[in-house]
Amino acid sequence: MTDPGKLTLGPLLFHWPAEKQRDFYFRVADEADVDCVYLGEAVCSKREPFFAPYIDTVAARLAAAGKQVVRSTLAMMILDREVATVRALAESGALIEANDVASLREMSGRPHVIGPYINVFNEGAHDFLVDGGAVRIVLPVEITASGVRVLAGRAVETELLVFGRQPLSVAMRCYHARAHGLSKDACQFVCGLDPDGLPADTIDGHALLTVNGTQTLSNGYLVLLQDLTALRGMGVTHFRLSPQDIDMVAVAGIHRSVLDGSCAVAEAAADLRGLTGETPWQNGFLHGREGLAWVDSALVPA
C-alpha cells in the first residue's frame, strides 16, 4: 500500500498564554492524528521564558503518544544568547528545525530539519543543505508547483505547509508594538492580545496581511486540501498544519481523512470551512499566482 504521507504540526507562531499552549499540546498528544509536532519559538525570543517551564513536559507527553518531536528555532537570530540556545539544543541531541542560516553552523554534521524561513528554491541550495546534514527540508510557502516537482523527494524528506496563515517575513522591528504606540524593547507583549494575529488592512479598508510581533503573515489561511494527492505524487512526504486559534485537532482529522482517501475533498472542504469561518482561503503561490489568490481547481497529478 502506498504511504499516504505524514501529517505534521508546525511551531506555534502566536503568543498564547503558557497554560493555553500547554493544554493545546496535551490535547494534540492525546487526540490529534498527526505524526510529528514542532515545538519552540520561531518568532521572538522574548516569548520563550513563558513556555519554558512546560516545554520538556509537553515534549515528553507528545513522544509518549508516538509523535516525533522536533525543536524549532528562531527565524531571525540577532543576539548571542539566541545562538547559544541553538547550540545547547544541538548538543542535547534533539532533532532541530533550523529557521535561520545563522544556526546552520551549530548543526553542521548533525541531522536536522531545514525550516520554511530558509529559502530553498533550486537544486543547488537543496543539495548544499543535505550535504550539511539536513534530513528533511520544509519548502518555502512561495514555491510554485513546478518548483515542488523539481525538489520534492530529492534524497531527503520534503515538507510543505498546507494549512494556516502563510509566513511571509520576519523583521528587526516589532510591528505589533508599534501599532500600540510602544517600542520593541518595551512591548508589554501586546502580541498576546491577538491569538490569531492582528489584521493589517490597506488604507482603503481591504484585508491584506496579518501582523504577529515581528512577523508578517497572510491575512487568510493557506488551504491545499484539493492538492494533497497531487503533492504526494510529486514526492512531498510531510504535510504541515500551522496552529491557528481554532480547533486544530479537527483540522488534523480533516487533512488525515483526505490523505488516507477516506473522505472526498469536497466533503472535507465543507467541514474545514465550518472551522475557518469568514477567514479567506488562499493558494495562489502554489498555482503560480499572487499568494492571496484562490484558485478553485486542483493541480494535475504528476
Residuewise pLDDT in 10s, the chain (302 residues): 468 899 999 999 999 999 999 999 999 999 999 999 999 999 999 999 999 999 999 999 999 999 999 999 999 999 999 999 999 999 999 999 999 999 999 988 899 999 999 999 999 999 999 999 999 999 999 999 999 999 998 889 999 999 999 999 999 999 999 999 999 999 999 999 999 999 999 999 888 999 999 999 999 999 999 999 999 999 999 999 999 999 999 999 999 999 999 999 999 999 999 999 999 999 999 999 999 999 998 887 76
Which pLDDT score, from 0 to 100, does residue 108 have?
86
Q: Which residues pair with 112 in a beta bridge?
A: 96, 134
Which pLDDT score, from 0 to 100, does residue 155 have?
87
Which pLDDT score, from 0 to 100, does residue 302 have?
60
The dihedral over CA atoms of 24, 25, 29, 33, expressed in degrees to the nearest 10, equals 70
Which pLDDT score, from 0 to 100, does residue 135 have?
97
Which pLDDT score, from 0 to 100, does residue 221 have?
98
Q: What is the DSSP letter of 165?
A: E
pTM given for the model: 0.96
The alpha carbon of residue 126 and the mean position of all alpha carbons in its chain are separated, in whole angstroms, by 19
Q: What is the CATH number of domain 6-166+218-282?
A: 3.20.20.60
- Sole residue written with cell 510557502: 141
d(CA 35, CA 239): 10
Supply 108's cell numbers: 553542521
Q: Which residues pair with 240 in a beta bridge?
A: 8, 161
d(CA 213, CA 202): 19
Q: What is the DSSP letter of 156?
A: S
Which pLDDT score, from 0 to 100, does residue 1 have?
42
Neighbours of 24 (CB within 10 A): 19
Residue 211 half-sphere exposure toward CB, CA atoms < 13 A:
20
